[in-house]
Amino acid sequence: MASANPRLAAALALLRERFGYPGFRPGQTQAVQSVLDGRDTLVILPTGGGKSLCFQVPALVLPGLTVVISPLISLMKDQVDALEARGLPATFLNSTLSQAEVSARMARVTSGEVKLLYLAPERFDLGSTAERLRAIGVTLLAVDEAHCISEWGHDFRPSYLRVKEVRKRLGNPPTVALTATATPEVREDIARQLELHNPTVVITGFDRTNLAYHVVPTKNDAAKDESLVALLREQVEAHRDGVAIVYASTRKTVERIAGALTKARLPALAYHAGLDDAHRAEVQDAFMTERVRVIVATNAFGMGIDKPNVRLVVHHAMPGTLEAYYQEAGRAGRDRLPATAVLLHAFPDRFTHEFFIKGALPERETIASVYEALRRLADPDGLVAASSAEVAATARGKVSDREAESALRILTRSGAVAVADASRTHAHLRLLATPERLKAELTEERDGLALALLRSLWRRARGTLHAGIVADLDALPPGLGGALAAMRQLDALQSQQMLVWRKLGEGITVVDPSRDLAGWPVDWAGLDRRRHGELRKLEMVQQYAYTKYCRRAFVLRYFGDPAARPRCDNCDNCLGIKHEPRSGPATRGRSRKPAAAKAGVTDSPLSREEIARLDALKVLRSRLAKADDVPAYVIFPDRALREIARANPRSRDQLAGVHGVGPARLDRFGRDVLDTLRGLD
């Protein structure tokens, strides 16, 4: 091996000597070899599959610095702590450090003492971090939790969308992107967003054969609490050496559940972003050292944390995507011993997610209503002396505070609105001079910095500089001297009547109150695509909860894993366990053999074509329901629409044979359904 692949041999030796593993796991060898060869690489390994080693080991073999983009403070801290414990040269920069600590760590990076530097993607949004690292020399860029970079991913994060630009600013080093959960569409999107060049794609099976999957139907939170207590007591009795993670959706729910469990003599600690850093670290340490065996947390807990003996993961509420559920459930049984993942499911869980999706990705009419409210509230200079909640109250129609905040964010991204704060240097400026005048009166020799500033602003404005824009002077490219130098140049240009500018105070500014919303480049198609994508993902989690067939196969088919089989003999459905719905402390769940599934009905994931048909049918259903002034489910329940989308009937007789249609619906709505389906041909 040493003669054929000397670097791989060195990597294997380092794996044994410094990490204590006898060899690489499936998929790791191919990934490590690709990274060592300087190729772009996309790695999809299941939770617990050892993704971090795919860049940590090569980073220590390769010369120069490896930059790791990581989404969470806790994740980067845990990985750096583990590397430092092995005497390996790694560090991180994040918001928990003082400026003096950041400077000291950067000095170590500059001197070559550090081989792995962990950063959050937002670190590159300000200042010259990327340029400083490029000057040092970046050998490898690793993008951890790379699903965050995809607009289809389950943790969409705008700062990740700028990683492509960060990569260019770092000098286009070879890049490895890693995630545990990615559908084929997300994998394609990650490669496209990062502009990976002919990447090596490493995918091992998504199946975690040691995990048992169960769904316990419940009516309300009281029933969930009762089921949770029973599950944890059973777990404590069965696994004296194991621990459990309970996931809840909000900080308030986390605190309530932790208190209820402790009251039930099941000591538990709460973990969420509302705790200060010291308290979070204390809770995490108590769990890792097993001073407490149950932790109740929001979904941030556990990402990248290698706790091998988690025997039980319980979701107190349905996550919004199967990606999120599978990744969080996958934190059980990382020692490859038997473990259980349980979803406590109540139908209203779906409504909560729909509310959040609507709030985060508002409809066009809502955004237009918010923009018009801002224009009405703005003074002659465009300043709005109102909070987002006050804007929501002023907007026509029913607009929630959350929808108003999201609309503001979308309008800000398009350039229509600026939201400034005291810590940033935002300025409103408008170019007065024509290009001909600029060329005639400004020269490179005398006005080089002013011209460079104008070029940067012109690129930022995308041709709208004469109409006026809001720019963050702190975010100007390096070489212009920073915000203060830019202000001096702007003052000089204003004195020559080349432009007009003013520094914005804290708050909201409408950039050009005279301009209609149609005049701003809002990505309406992208917004609609993301909203529909999130709703489709939510639909798949709902289908997982209600399927009567193998849950493991359902998940594997969703991720495109060819290992999916009809039965697994390790989920509640395949084991013949029927969890009766609980409605609270007054009832007790029982188990019995599951009822036979209805003929002709399947819960397998929909194909792309079937999803398109389902979306069209939902639009039709909404129109018919509005015309009849009845709830949508009266026209067709969701189950019936899914079966129609699968069957794609071409005639009245074929439609009549679809489960859930029936003679009455066939007579009233049959022609509309068939016309809608034919219109998609």
Residue where a domain terminates, one of 167, 185, 203: 203
| CATH number (domain holding residue 275) | 3.40.50.300
Question: Is there a single domain that holds both residue 340 and residue 234?
Answer: yes
Instruction: Write out pLDDT tens, residues 68-115.
Output: 998 877 778 878 888 887 889 999 998 788 888 989 999 999 999 999
Which residue, among 291, 287, 317, has the nearest Cα to 302 in the 3D structure?
287
Q: How many beta carbons lie within 10 A of that of residue 287, not counting itself?
A: 25
Is 137 part of any domain? Answer: yes
Is 521 part of any domain? Answer: no
Which residues 6+ apart lie within 8 Å of 627 measured at CB? none
Question: Is there a single domain that holds both residue 191 and residue 229?
Answer: no
According to DSSP, the residues that pair with 310 across neighbouring strands are 243
Identify the domain containing residue 443 by its residue range: 423-504
Beta strands 200-203 and 65-69, pairing class: unpaired
Beta strands 175-179 and 41-44, pairing class: parallel
Question: Is there a single domain that holds both residue 104 and residue 253?
Answer: no
Written as one string, the DSSP assignment of 455-510 is HHHHHHHTT-TTT-EEEEGGGSPTTS-HHHHHHHHHHHHHHTTSEEEEE--SEEEE
| CA 363/CA 75 separation, integer angstroms | 34
Q: 214: which DSSP letter? A: E
Is 537 part of any domain? Answer: no
Distances (CA, A) of 49 to 206, 319, 571: 10, 22, 21
Question: Is there a single domain that holds both residue 235 and residue 171?
Answer: no
Residue where a domain terminates, one of 203, 223, 243: 203
Q: Which long-range contacts (CB under 8 A, 24 or more apart) does 99-106 make?
A: 106/132
Is 197 part of any domain? Answer: yes
Question: What residues in the chain have per-residue pLDDT under 70?
Answer: 1-4, 48, 126-127, 151-157, 238-240, 300, 302-306, 420-424, 478, 505-506, 582-605, 630-634
Containing H/E element for 138? Answer: strand 138-143
Question: Is there a single domain that holds both residue 192 and residue 215?
Answer: no
Question: Is there a single domain that holds both residue 20 and residue 165?
Answer: yes
Question: Is there a single domain that holds both residue 321 and residue 285?
Answer: yes
Question: Is there a single domain that holds both residue 195 and residue 224?
Answer: no
Is 173 part of any domain? Answer: yes
Is 291 part of any domain? Answer: yes
Written as one string, the DSSP assignment of 67-89 is EEE-S-HHHHHHHHHHHHHTT--
Counting the structural domains of the chain, the total is 4
> Ramachandran region of residue 382, left (φ > 0), alpha (ψ -120 to 50) or beta?
left
Question: Is there a single domain that holds both residue 198 and residue 224?
Answer: no
Is 44 part of any domain? Answer: yes
Which residue, among 598, 601, 545, 605, has the nearest Cα to 573 in the 3D structure?
545
What confidence score (pLDDT) does residue 506 get? 66
Tokens read off for 315: 């979701």
Tokens read off for 272: 């969420």
Question: Is there a single domain that holds both residue 583 and residue 646?
Answer: no
What confidence score (pLDDT) does residue 48 get? 67
| CA 480/CA 450 separation, integer angstroms | 9
Which residues 6+ apart lie within 8 Å of 636 measured at CB? 617, 621, 644, 660, 661, 665, 669
Q: Which amino acid is at 142?
A: A
Q: Are 579 and 216 in contact (CB under 8 A)?
A: yes
Q: Are 643 and 587 in contact (CB under 8 A)?
A: no
Question: Is there a single domain that holds both residue 59 and residue 142?
Answer: yes
| CA 130/CA 126 separation, integer angstroms | 9
| CA 578/CA 598 separation, integer angstroms | 16
Q: Are 577 and 529 in contact (CB under 8 A)?
A: no
Q: Are 370 and 387 in contact (CB under 8 A)?
A: no
In the chain the first and final C-alpha atoms are separated, in Å, by 56
Is 190 part of any domain? Answer: yes
| CATH number (domain holding residue 656) | 1.10.150.80
Distances (CA, A) of 592 to 344, 543, 580, 589: 18, 21, 8, 10
Q: Are 476 and 424 in contact (CB under 8 A)?
A: no
β-sheet with 200-203: strand ranges across: 90-93, 116-119, 65-69, 138-143, 175-179, 41-44, 200-203
Beta strands 417-420 and 507-510, pairing class: antiparallel
Q: 605: which DSSP letter? A: P
Positive or negative CA dihedral for 227, 229, 232, 233? Answer: negative
Q: 512: which DSSP letter? A: -
Question: Is there a single domain that holds both residue 120 and residue 269?
Answer: no
Containing H/E element for 666? Answer: helix 662-678
pTM value surpassing 0.75: no
Q: Which amino acid is at 18?
A: R
What confidence score (pLDDT) does residue 505 get? 66
| CA 611/CA 298 separation, integer angstroms | 30
Residue where a domain terminates, one of 477, 504, 531: 504
